Amino acid sequence: MRYLVLLEATNPAGPPPPDLMAAIMKLGEEATAAGALLDTAGLLPSAAGAKITVTGGELAATDGPFAETKEMISYALYEVRSREEAVEWTNRFMRLHRDLWEGWAGEARVLQVMTF
């Protein structure tokens, strides 16, 4: 089963701590070696994006930035045996942020990719 994890966060001022980045790289290598992690990348701020909506049958495109207080900052795509496994990889990633970047706040959505 494939799961897409979307990370939204409000980052404290300044760059991420070097220890955090090293721990993220190590976790990514572990997930890749286990055959679980297929792809991951950071995302540019919403100011570089657009939102397409359909309301009342009308299509509209709105340039970013968007009003949400949290920015969608990255994604990961996993191929795992269960939702629980995808949640566990995501928990490990989130614990790194909690433990290594004081003041960081965020949330991750774990969504199963539909297959036919």
Residue 35, CB-side half-sphere exposure with 13 Å CA sphere:
3
Question: Whole-angstrom Cα distance, residue 82 to residue 59?
Answer: 37
CATH of the domain at 75: 3.30.70.1060
pLDDT of residue 66: 85
Question: Whole-angstrom Cα distance, residue 52 to residue 38?
Answer: 27
Among 86, 69, 84, residue whose Cα is nearest residue 6: 86
Mean pLDDT of 71-80: 95
- As for how many domains the chain has, the answer is 1
Domain containing residue 95? 2-112
Extract the tokens encoding 11.
Answer: 């980052």
Indicate the pTM of the whole model: 0.89
Q: What is the pLDDT of residues 76-108, one digit of tens each?
A: 999 999 999 999 999 999 999 999 999 999 999
